[in-house]
Amino acid sequence: MEDACRDILEQQQLRADQIALVIPHQANLRIIEAISHYLELPMERFYVNVDRYGNTSAASIPIALDEARRAGRFQRGDTTLLVAFGAGLTYGSALVRW
């Protein structure tokens, strides 16, 4: 997931500190904390709900995105990074400017 984050940031010529919120796949908290460390972004910039639901698989980003929106975690003009991984070493990321 770190590579997926770094790749898309590089493609779009953005730095990690320009991202308002990261909404990662909610596999487990240790992975999310590791990405926070590698990107040098505080955990406050990550939306986490794995503690409440566990790993919700392919639904984790849509659920977290909806909760983050309802909680006001991003505003118009903010850039949000969505990043996920799956079985077979598949991964993906997207940037969304609101």
C-alpha distances out from residue 33 to 13, 48, 78, Å: 24, 10, 22
State which residues form the domain around 61.
2-97
* CATH at residue 47: 3.40.47.10
pLDDT of residue 62: 96
44-83: pLDDT as tens digits: 999 999 999 999 988 999 999 999 999 999 999 999 999 9
To the nearest 10 degrees (0 to 180), the angle between helices 2-11 and 29-39 is 40
Number of domains into which the chain is organized? 1
Q: What is the β-pairing status of strands 79-85 and 91-97?
A: antiparallel
Residue 44's nearest CA partner among 13, 9, 19, 69 is: 19
Would the pTM count as exceeding 0.85? yes
